[in-house]
Amino acid sequence: MNTFGDVFVLVAVGAVALVLLFGLVNMMRGGPANTSQTLMRARVLLQAVALVVIMGVVWYRAL
C-alpha cells in the first residue's frame, strides 16, 4: 500500500512542478499577464492539494 500513496504524492508534486514550469515559460516569453496570474493561482491551489495529499499519506502510514 505504500506504493499507492507514493504515486499520489508524485502526481501531486508533479502537477505543481508542471504548472510552475508553464508559468516560468510564459513569463520568460513575455506572455500575457493574465495567463501568468491564472497559472499562479492554479499553482497555489495545487500546492494546497499536494499538502493535503502528503499529510494524508503520512497520517495513513502512521496508523
pLDDT at position 2, please? 66
pTM of the model: 0.87
- Residues 5 and 61: their CA atoms lie apart, in Å, by 9
Give the pLDDT confidence of 13-37 residue by residue, as tens digits. 999 999 999 999 999 999 999 999 9
For range 39-59, the mean pLDDT = 96
Sketch the domain layout of the chain as residue ranges. 2-62
Confidence of residue 48 (pLDDT cuts 50, 70, 90): very high
How many angstroms separate the Cα of 60 from the Cα of each of 15, 48, 52? Answer: 22, 18, 12
Give the pLDDT confidence of 51-62 residue by residue, as tens digits. 999 999 999 998
- Residues 46 and 34: their CA atoms lie apart, in Å, by 18
Strands (E), 1-63: none
Please give the angle made by the CA atoms of 19, 58 and 23, to the nearest 5 degrees. 10
